[in-house]
Chains A and B, each alone.
Chain A
Amino acid sequence: DQQVKQNSPSLSVQEGRISILNCDYTNSMFDYFLWYKKYPAEGPTFLISISSIKDKNEDGRFTVFLNKSAKHLSLHIVPSQPGDSAVYFCAGTDDKLIFGTGTRLQVFP
């Protein structure tokens, strides 16, 4: 039973445009959500988080939106840069982090 789902395995976006990465979850007990970014041969690094009592959190070019009724969250990156090319993992937690399968973002010039 996959509690966190990232249905798009890959996404390609032109530099300067908006990247939108989506995530769905099934566990209504998750009390906060996080996004991690992973480059090849490196461990994931924390990007941004959101509490379940909020619907938006913004940090520079990164904004996470949470729709609890739909059990859906999304990460917006604007403007996208080539250095943003990486695999992005969504995760939820009520006790331990449960990760999705990731979305590979490629930002091209």
Chain B
Amino acid sequence: GAGVSQSPSNKVTEKGKDVELRCDPISGHTALYWYRQSLGQGLEFLIYFQGNSAPDKSGLPSDRFSAERTGGSVSTLTIQRTQQEDSAVYLCASSLGRSSYNSPLHFGNGTRLTVT
């Protein structure tokens, strides 16, 4: 019974470089979410997938951020030309269906991204 797996757990990158963050959701979970937590902040919604499509991308902070999901499973979050303000913990979560009263999100342990 593996949970949500994220890799890498830590990533240090230089300003201006591109980074890819990976999320393996729980098997069978059709819904997948990306959130981020900046220092001293709450969990900020980025994007939601249902299957391979992303009906809600409203939280992506800029066009430098993109995400995709393939095979209804693995998702990658890509940040192009990273900036120091992108430094945060990026959290992935999955659920059986759309998050609801009886279908809470299951989170991974996150990727801590540091942009120097």
Contact = CB atoms under 8 A, between A and B. Distances in A.
Interface of A: 4, 6, 32, 34, 36, 41-46, 49, 51, 89, 91, 93, 95-102
Interface in B59-109: 91, 93, 99-101, 104-109
A41 B109 contact: yes
A107 B7 CA distance: 32
Q: Which 5 A-B residue pairings sit nearest by Cβ, starting from the closest?
A: A43-B107, A99-B43, A101-B42, A46-B104, A99-B42
Sort chain B's interface into a size bin: 20 to 34
A41 B107 CA distance: 12
Contacts of B107: 36, 43-45
Contacts of B106: 46
A100 B42 contact: yes
Contacts of A32: 100-101
9 contacts: A32-B101, A43-B110, A45-B107, A46-B106, A96-B45, A98-B45, A99-B35, A99-B43, A101-B42
Contacts of A99: 35, 42-45
Contacts of A49: 101, 104
Contacts of A97: 33, 43, 45, 99, 105
Given A41-B109, A43-B93, A101-B42, A96 B104 contact: no
Nearest to A50: B101
